[in-house]
Amino acid sequence: MAGFRHILFPVDFSERCKAICPYVKSFAAQFHAKVTLLNVVQIPPGMPGGIDPSYPVMFDYKALEPQIREVLKEYCDLGDVERIVRLGEPALDIADYAKENGVDLIMLPTHGYGKFRSLLLGSVTSKVLHDADCPVWTAPHAEGPGLKGHWPCKSVLVAVDRGAEQAPVVKRAVELAQELGAGVRLVHAVPGAEHAPGETGGEEFSHFLMKMADQDMAKLQQAAGTNLEASVVAGAVGEVVRQVAEQHHADLLIIGRGVMHETLGRLRSRSYEIIRESPCPVLSF
């Protein structure tokens, strides 16, 4: 099934979280999906899970919970949705709730703050991407006015690594794009194949790497049963994906995420980098 039946929207009441409410509403309407709003109250230091028993901590969760539920009732115009409040560790509880309740899409913004914000995703988003079994949608620039321009989705870009194991990601992306009425394009970065004009040596090796990449992309498309336009570009993964997304005005970037296995999984291991640099929302399978 290409669409989604149960969307989990973790809410922390930040401006970035507020900014993606229209996207959650649009996805829910597009796929006729159930929506659950989840607010996880962080366990403070001095309580089980973050204990420093040397001093007491005053924290009345029972009194706080009904107040949060009231705020959730007024949060976003999402219609008839389920609202859940939990006490715990946000990333862990988000992933656990998704597994326990048949969630097939988590939607949340990234949260990187401070001077080195471009280097950060935010600990909660990073952990959810690592731990969640279901697809995760995230917007790296949720606070920017450009986010609204990516819906309705008319252009889907799929960033792929080499190898037939990427075929399920391509198939799922094509099915989803068909349901959205969007065009699809593939992008594959070839690190190490850059060759500066006038540079002596290495040109032959660069040509070899690009030729091998083209052959691998052909095999991938054969495995996926597709014949999509593909951009195979020499350069760093995050930079190449961003450039192609901008060039083709992508409204949604789709990637496969997971752990790195031996020589495979280069793109998967770069998923955080891709999300940080993406000019549009990212959906990772």
pLDDT in tens, 53-112: 555 555 566 778 888 888 888 888 888 899 999 988 999 999 999 999 999 999 999 865
Residue 194 pLDDT level (bands cut at 50, 70, 90): confident
DSSP string, 107-169: E------STTGGG---HHHHHHHHH-SS-EEE-TTTTSGGGGGG-S--EEEEE--SSGGGHHH
Angle 244-143-128 (CA atoms, 0-180°, nearest 5)?
Answer: 75
238 Cβ neighbours under 8 A, 6+ residues apart:
270, 273, 274, 276, 277
At 7-35, the pLDDT tens digits run 999 998 888 888 999 999 999 999 999 99
